[in-house]
Structure 1
Amino acid sequence: MYTQPLYRFSCTAILLLVITVATAQVKLAVLPSKTVVQLTETFQLQFVVEGTNEVDEFIPPAFHNFEKIGGYDKTTGVTWVNGSLTEYVTYTVTLRPKTKGRLSIEPATVKASGKIVTSLGLVIFVKPAAEQAVAEERPDYYLLPNETFKEKITKNLFVKATIDKQRCYVGEPVLATFKLFTRLDSESKIVKRPSLNGFSVVDMEQPESGNFSKEMVNGKMYNCYLIRKVQLFPLQSGELTIEPVEVENLVRLIKAKVRSTKETSTWLDAVMDKMKEAEIESAGTIEERVVLKSDELKVKVLDVPEKNKPESFNGAVGTFTMETALLNNRIAANDNATLRIVIKGKGNLPMITAPVVKWPSGVDSFDARLTENLDKQHAPISGSKTFDIPFSVTQTGTFVVPAIQFSYFDEATKTYHTLKSDTLQLQVTAAVKRKTPVFEQAVLEDEGTPRWVWVASVGSIILVLMIAVLLIQAKRTKKETAVVTPLTEDNPIPEIAKTSIENFLQPAADTINSTHKKQFYTMLMQGMQDYMIDRYKLEAQAVNTLSTVSLLKQQQLMDEAEQYQQIMSTCELAVFSPVELNDDREELLHAANNLLQQIETKHSV
């Protein structure tokens, strides 16, 4: 009677053991896009490290018989296999053989999780270039007989969006890439940008106009244009949607008629023969506009665990260190000292705010000054944030800055960590007495000057004063109609006028109809940055979109921060995208003006 439960228990235990061992093992596999290639053909080689998302060192093989095209494309991700979570890192490279025959590729090696793992070797068979290879590279801008326009587009032009993970925690970065793949003669422009609601967005690699790379898809080589590459930091839990990007393409195809004299010829033979004989008849160029869009993507976002969550946790996700120091260890009472807190590491650094300092009584502290040094070109973002907090102490003696705590969640180990600084000592001396200038009255000493001289001098002075009073009175009488407004509380001394919002945005307004379309977006970004520098007294060299958004959030202007980021992202995309952006510039300028008006109103309160 106990046989069946015991059997189930044994199976469950064995299954759990297998899963545990599988997740603990690090494996390295080599996956070629094809093992038989032509001499002039390119193919992709992918090295997949399973069981980890952190590789200490990747040592690729020496490709003696192959030409390496470009560098390695590194991606990380997580997959669910039979209900278990498997992390992976991939390194992808494009190769072209230098010679024909049986070519060997040596094993690769990785160092990960304290282990050294080596892959198996690989053999690629390279055949001489033949007509078949030429057929694969035939000109795709010809619309051949028995070929429809729709079929041509489907096979040779598409937009693709990818993400490196489909499941993450709030604050954990998701890498999203949007690309246009084409083998046709076409002109493209973005008509709808992907909606990234629920994410804080950091642009990484900026697309360069006109530049493209070569990528192999299903054995065919495409020109690949980068539309956008961003890191997305989820701000809330739940299922978040990355909406499609839509690109309008003007496609040109040449409709060709081929008159073949060989009944048994293939279409390629016929085309080649007629090209040699200059007998291809063109029925004209076909132009059609086609709107393509990427797939809609879903990301499942989990809340960070409530269990063991530290009191000092404020949303930091990644791995970090903390340093604290006093910039001056000795001050006079009521003078200013500065506490410096430096957070270093990788993760959601743009979203990290200054740690809370529990100041004792007798201390006046002020808003922290922020300095950022971030590397946005790699995922996750790495670098440092420095918070300089000015404060003053009223009492003399040895003042102790209490220990500061900073907590973060490590998504890799799914654990919380709390960093705690040492206490810092500050010597506070007596307040410095400020000397007040003393103006002494000159004393006239009697050196025997005759009395009549003094009387005459005093009388002359009185006479001059009386004449001056009479002249002033006469002048006032002539100006009886003049109105003098007294300086009262209702009529204070006017302040120096601030630069208006319109002045900051005027350069953008002047270029709104410019033939150089990117100039408008550049001027709009500059105007908005100049406004923030002026109103918040910021250092120009330290101002960027991330730091400004962080500043607005510290001021509790959450909606304004999101609007600011959206406008700046739109401008950056328009400036750097290789395809034209179909945006309403007047509407964008109006939105920027309204946003700055909102910030102005709340900043002056």
Structure 2
Amino acid sequence: MKVLKYIVVLLIGLYTPFVFSQNEDSLRFVAKVNKKKIAINEVLEIEFVFNKEVDTFIPPKFENFTINQGPNQSVSIIWEKGVKVFSKTYKYSLKPKVIGEEQLIGNATIEVSGTQLQTEPMHISVTKKRSLHRANKKAKSAIKNKVFIVTEVSKNSLNELDSLTVMHRIYFPENFEMSSFSEIRKPVYKHCIIKSEHKKQFTVEQTEFRGSVYRSIVYRQAILKPEGKGEIKVKPVILDVVVDVPTGKKDIFGRYLRVPKTIRIKSNKVSVNVVK
């Protein structure tokens, strides 16, 4: 006779994998979703995670949802203080079919050596359609105000024999992480000779700007020589940057979960007077 057991579903944020010690005798099985409340035009992410290889995995029927993607399988095996840590995940992306406060996602089941383990059913609140473009635009605008690029110069004026150092510095909050960036428009220097120009190493510094502390990266630096009397002009730089932004949610270890966001930033234009 098969033994049937139930465990409480853990409803927590996605994107941080569960890990379980392989030397633990108990079979563990959890389900987790990225949201408990979604709009009818949004996507729900659900994961089923267990800590041992199993004979059978049976997903819920998802009667009130359409499978948009999945199941996607992933396995994590790491060694921690000499102990093998294993977890396996089945992930689905679901689109709700109807609006309602308690849209049911039924039991998922795994079986190993004649023993079955199930998750408890869960309920998801589905609301009316919302403007994803407006929400995404608002979120990106809020992030864009916190991530910016500044063209900095070593002098506000110089004579014809001097050199001018120009740095293009990306600023972002202390709780953000910079993943990558790409140049949409490179720096353009007018009425000068470029003595040297190079991309800086990807080094993060702590920098104060207008009374606030930021993390910053100097991604380009140039040394310019005036061609004569007048102005050296530096045209704005445009970059696409990818930053990892905290969601405000934590994983089971107390660490803040982050999501990548891509935004476009533009630097200031600069003019420096050249005198005799």
Normalized against structure 1, the TM-score is what? 0.21
Larger relative contact order (Cα-Cα within 8 Å, sequence gap ≥ 6): 2
Normalized against structure 2, the TM-score is what? 0.43
Largest Rg, 1 or 2 = 1
Higher strand share: 2
